[in-house]
Copies of this chain bind each other. A is one copy, B any other.
């Protein structure tokens, strides 16, 4: 069986790697799993065929034989729990690594999503200019605590894990805002993540997919 994921036919970010298929591609690269990508257009995402595999009409999805999953966090967790490379074997260390997946998605990313909402869905509203500093301060509070926890370590808890993969993916969304660079430890953490060969392959592949150019490796 070949693993098949879905991705935007053309990502709105033009291949900056911020669409959520990049996270899944990265997890598949870290675990050495080959996969195919099926493009989905914006129109097709809201049609019954796609809604049957993704109830919220988004990407990515994950198909492997008769298993169909949606939601990038769930897919990353599934890959990490089925193939070695993204979760420690020790039960307690494994539970802690999984905790960081959830912390990235439910404590750090919602604050960042408010910034995305403000810029892209309310960018034309008169209040947005005044709201942006409030949103930025709420993000800073999360980043300050995350940076304090990371300290001088390379990764959040021991070896690189699916928790780091998810957290780095979430933090990457902040780079255009400049907020990430206010926290040098976190900026280094993201740079360290991006330097991983598996990330580089995933990024190059999504870029090629979104620009129609062959991946430069």
Contacts and interface: CB of A to CB of B under 8 A. Distances in A.
A94 to B, nearest CB: 10
Chain A interface residue bracket vs B: 35 or more
Contacts of A98: 74, 77-78
A55 interface: yes
Interface stretch (A130-138, A172-180, A187-195): A130-138
A149 B54 CA distance: 9
A194 to B, nearest CB: 22
B71 A107 contact: yes
Given A92-B67, A101-B74, A56 B107 contact: yes
Given A121-B138, A134-B122, A106 B148 contact: no
A51 B70 CA distance: 33
A113 B114 CA distance: 9
A60 B106 CA distance: 13
B70 A103 contact: yes
A110 B110 contact: yes
Interface in A46-85: 51, 55-58, 66-74, 77-78
